[in-house]
Amino acid sequence: MGRTIDWRTGSGLRTYDVIEAPTPHILIDSRKELHGWWRGKRECTAERLLTNPYNGCTVHCFCCYALALPGYFQLFRRQGIAIVCRDFDRVVGRQLDGLGVASCGYLSPVTDPFQPLESRYHLSRKIIEQFVRRNIPVEFVTKCRIPGGIIGLIGQHPHSFGQVSILTDREDLRRRLMTGGATTEELFGNLKALADAGIHAVCRIDPIIPLVTDNLDDLDRLVLRAADAGAKHMVASVMDVPRGMAGEIFAHLDAIRPGVSVRIRRLYREVIDGVRHADLEYRRRIFSRLREVCDRAGVTFALCMEYRLENGRPEGLNRQFASSTNCEGIDIPVYVRSGERFEPAADCSGACLTCREPVCGIEDLAMGRPETTRRDFTLRDYRRWSRRRTQHRSRRRIFENIDLFLG
């Protein structure tokens, strides 16, 4: 008789069988939807269709902000049990089939798509196949070794790419920051494998941990080593501390370097939307150095979700430090349906946050206009845009036929 757990969801208390291998997890049926960036602060330049086939991440980064999220994420935080969305690739495929407009897919915003569960369920690979089959670009972010066959799949689409997160090039330190994930050598190997296949490779130094991984010479070395492996773009951030996780994070840091949390607490005196941020001048010093070394190495640079308070409101720092149009270093247009497949909207750079003239035809995405509110979008929005495009094409065909009839 195997282990069971009881967990309360929106529909009430339920009992689940716990599957122990390769890591403890439960299976659920999920109809959750593809969606854009979360509501609230917006710094991500381009649109994405985000999806997580797994809730809970056995890479076990000690500062993972997903541990502060509600629902099944708390089951993982409290009991170490991950959640697998059974046959979720089919759910994603059906949602894509209902669209006439799509942006690049994103695996995964809060959990590693290639954590050990992927070796059993292959949901990330199957979701990538759903996007590639329809000629929609897709990207992934990972701290794990890229499984066999994934690079071949990604390489089938010119706008698909991979991001590899490397916190430090010191393997002994990496093992103290996370209990899972790939070795440092394997992570740099990921970058090389992507580059060798002609795929845009991004190295994420995300997050930088003050007084632990923020030595400037070490950061220089990491950038140069990633560039030598084939990375064309770097993304960086400094660790944020959600209020509900502060005690856990600072205790872990003290276990790595006894007493360091006292100094770090003094550094984290800025609070933006309930999250502690490191001192602004400290962050600017780090980002200035990274931008300089990236420029010297011939790679582009951007930040991820870094803000300062301006008149009481969060203002993104990318405009000061980024050297690329889009924050992932690659311009990916919005894609529109053409028969059974999707094709890129002509002359679209994908930089929706700065767009003033939406060549894709979707007015909502022209968020660079002063009068346009910066938004984050749901599947319902994508369906609405798709209906409008269908109606527009139908009207255009009617007028074309009238013109032909009237000669």
- Which pLDDT score, from 0 to 100, does residue 367 have? 92
Whether the link from the prior residue into 22 is cis, omega within 30° of 0, is: yes
Neighbour count for residue 5 (Cβ, 10 Å)? 14
pLDDT, tens digit (0-9, with 9 covering 90-100), for 209-232: 999 999 999 999 999 999 999 999
8 Å CB contact between 44 and 329: no
Q: Which long-range contacts (CB under 8 A, 24 or more apart) does 304-312 make?
A: 304/43, 304/204, 304/206, 304/235, 304/236, 304/237, 305/41, 305/43, 305/44, 305/237, 305/240, 306/43, 306/237, 306/238, 307/41, 307/43, 307/272, 307/277, 308/280, 309/270, 309/272
- Which pLDDT score, from 0 to 100, does residue 66 have? 85
- Which pLDDT score, from 0 to 100, does residue 125 have? 98
pLDDT at 395 over 50: no
Q: With pLDDT > 90 as the criterion, what percentage of the chain qualifies?
A: 85
More confident residue, 372 or 367: 367
- Which pLDDT score, from 0 to 100, does residue 392 have? 59
Q: How far apart are CA 238 and CA 375, in angstroms?
A: 24
Burial of 265: CB neighbours in 10 Å, binned 0-12, 13-18, 19+? middle
pLDDT, tens digit (0-9, with 9 covering 90-100), for 305-354: 999 999 888 999 999 999 999 999 999 999 999 999 999 999 999 999 99
Taking residues 248-272, report their average pLDDT. Answer: 93
- Which pLDDT score, from 0 to 100, does residue 327 have? 96
Residue 398 confidence class, pLDDT cut points 50, 70, 90: very low
- Which pLDDT score, from 0 to 100, does residue 40 have? 66
- Which pLDDT score, from 0 to 100, does residue 393 have? 56
Residues 6+ positions from 359 with CB-CB distance below 8 Å: 345, 346, 347, 348
pTM of the model: 0.94
Question: What secondary structure does DSSP assign to 278-344, as a single string?
Answer: --HHHHHHHHHHHHHHHHHHT-EEEESS-EEEETTEEEESHHHH--SSSTTSS----EEEETTEEEE
Please provide the average confidence, as pLDDT, over all residues in the chain.
Answer: 93
pLDDT at 396 over 90: no
Residues 6+ positions from 371 with CB-CB distance below 8 Å: none
More confident residue, 347 or 1: 347
Question: Which residues are paired to 344 by β-bridges?
Answer: 335
Taking residues 47-70, report their average pLDDT. Answer: 92
Taking residues 234-245, report their average pLDDT. Answer: 94
Q: Which two tokens stand for residue 343?
A: 């094709």
Question: Which residues are paired to 48 by β-bridges?
Answer: 104
- Which pLDDT score, from 0 to 100, does residue 7 have? 93
Burial of 251: CB neighbours in 10 Å, binned 0-12, 13-18, 19+? exposed
Taking residues 222-246, report their average pLDDT. Answer: 96
- Which pLDDT score, from 0 to 100, does residue 2 have? 84
pLDDT at 175 over 70: yes
8 Å CB contact between 82 and 67: no
- CA nearest neighbour of 361 among 348, 377, 376, 374: 348
8 Å CB contact between 54 and 399: no
Neighbour count for residue 184 (Cβ, 10 Å)? 20
Q: Exposure pattern of 160-176 as b/e (b: 16+ CB <10 Å)?
A: bbbbbbbbbbbeebbee
- CA nearest neighbour of 209 among 172, 231, 236: 236
pLDDT, tens digit (0-9, with 9 covering 90-100), for 275-300: 999 999 999 999 999 999 999 999 99
CA torsion sign for 66, 167, 156, 87 is negative
Q: How far apart are CA 332 and CA 233, in angstroms?
A: 15
Question: Across the chain, which distance is largest between two alpha carbons, in Å?
Answer: 84
Q: How far apart are CA 189 and CA 151, in angstroms?
A: 12
Question: Which residues are paired to 28 by β-bridges?
Answer: 85
Question: For tokens 């609230």, what's the residue?
Answer: 40
Which CATH number, 3.80.30.30, 3.40.1190.10, 3.40.50.10860, 3.30.360.10, labels domain 28-52+88-406? 3.80.30.30
Residue 405 confidence class, pLDDT cut points 50, 70, 90: very low
- Which pLDDT score, from 0 to 100, does residue 244 have? 86
Collapsing DSSP states into helix, strand and coil, what is residue 138?
Answer: strand
